[in-house]
Amino acid sequence: MSALFHTKDRSAKECHHVPGQERSTKSTILETGAALTQDFTPTKNICAHLNAFHVYASDPTRVVEANHYCGHLTEDVRQCLLYDSPDPGARLIGVEYMIKPHLYETLPQEERRLWHSHVFEVKSGMLVMPQPNSAVPTAAWEKAETEEMKEVIELYGKVYHLWQVDRGDRLPMGAPQLMTSITSFDQVPDLEKKMDERDQKFVGQAVDWRRKREIRKDLVEPTVHPDADYQVKRME
C-alpha cells in the first residue's frame, strides 16, 4: 500500500522548536545531492502510514499520538518508524515492531508481557491510515484501509519511544520508554476528544474514527493471548 500522503509546506525553522539554526544552503544542497546519488533502500521498504495513540507503560496518564511509517521484513514481521507528525521536520520519536501470533507464542513469558494487541485500536477506529491525496477516491481508499486492518488486528506490537515530546523535551532525553496500546475507552480520560482533535488534523484525508468504527464493526476479533497487554493490566 502506498505511503504517499498530503503534507503541508513547512519550513525547517518550524520544526517543533528543535534547537539549532535553520538549515543552511549547504545542507540543502548536500541533501539534494545525496537523494540523487545515494541508495536509501531500507527506507524504500516503507509501504503504509498509520496513525494511533500510545500510552507510557510507566505512567498511564501520558498519551502520545504517533505517525507510523511501516514496512514488511517478511509476511510475519513488520517494523515501523514513529514520528510526531506527518509534516516536513517531524521528529523521529520511536520504533514499533509488529509480529503475527504464531511468532508471539514462541516468545518467553517475560518477553510476551512487553507486547500489546491491536484489537481495540482497530475496532474503535483509533488506528487510521490517512488518505494519500484527493486523487485517490475515498471509497477505494477506505476499502483498502479496511483490508489492511484485517491483518493488523491480529498482530502484536512492541513500542519504545526515544523522544518524550509530550513533556516538551527539545532533544531526546533519558532512556527509551516502553509504551503500550489503549485497550478500552475507559483507559484514557477524554479519549474520544483526543481522537476528534486528531481527526481534525487530517481534513480531507478520510480520517473519521467514528466512521471507521462503523465500517469495522463486523471485523472478526482474534483471541488475544493472556500475556499480551500486560502493561495495561498491571495498571488496573
CA dihedral 153, 146, 81, 96 (to 10 degrees): 0
pLDDT at 15: 57
Residue at 28 is within a domain: no
Helix (H) or strand (E) holding 196: helix 191-200
β-strand pairing of 77-83 with 177-180? unpaired
Residue at 51 is within a domain: yes
Residue at 39 is within a domain: no
Write out pLDDT tens, residues 194-231.
999 999 999 889 999 999 999 999 999 999 999 999 99
Mean of the pLDDT values across residues 75-100?
A: 96
Residue at 164 is within a domain: yes
Confidence grade of residue 22 (pLDDT, cut at 50, 70, 90): low
Domain of residue 51, residue span: 46-233
Query: Cα separation of 18 and 31, whole Å?
Result: 19
Mean of the pLDDT values across residues 19-35?
A: 59
Among 88, 41, 44, 45, CA closest to 67:
88
Confidence grade of residue 16 (pLDDT, cut at 50, 70, 90): low
pTM of the model: 0.86
CB atoms within 10 A of CB 146: 16
pLDDT at 157: 98
CB atoms within 10 A of CB 145: 23
CB atoms within 10 A of CB 100: 16
Number of domains observed in the structure of the chain: 1
Write out pLDDT tens, residues 100-144.
999 999 999 999 999 999 999 999 999 999 998 878 899 999 999
Say if residues 68 and 96 touch (Cβ distance below 8 Å). Answer: yes
Residue at 34 is within a domain: no
Q: Which residues lie below 8 Å from residue 182, measured CB to CB, with a gap of 6+?
A: 53, 55, 63, 120, 121, 126, 188, 191, 232
Query: Cα separation of 16 and 19, whole Å?
Result: 9
Q: How high is the mean pLDDT of the chain?
A: 88
Residue at 36 is within a domain: no
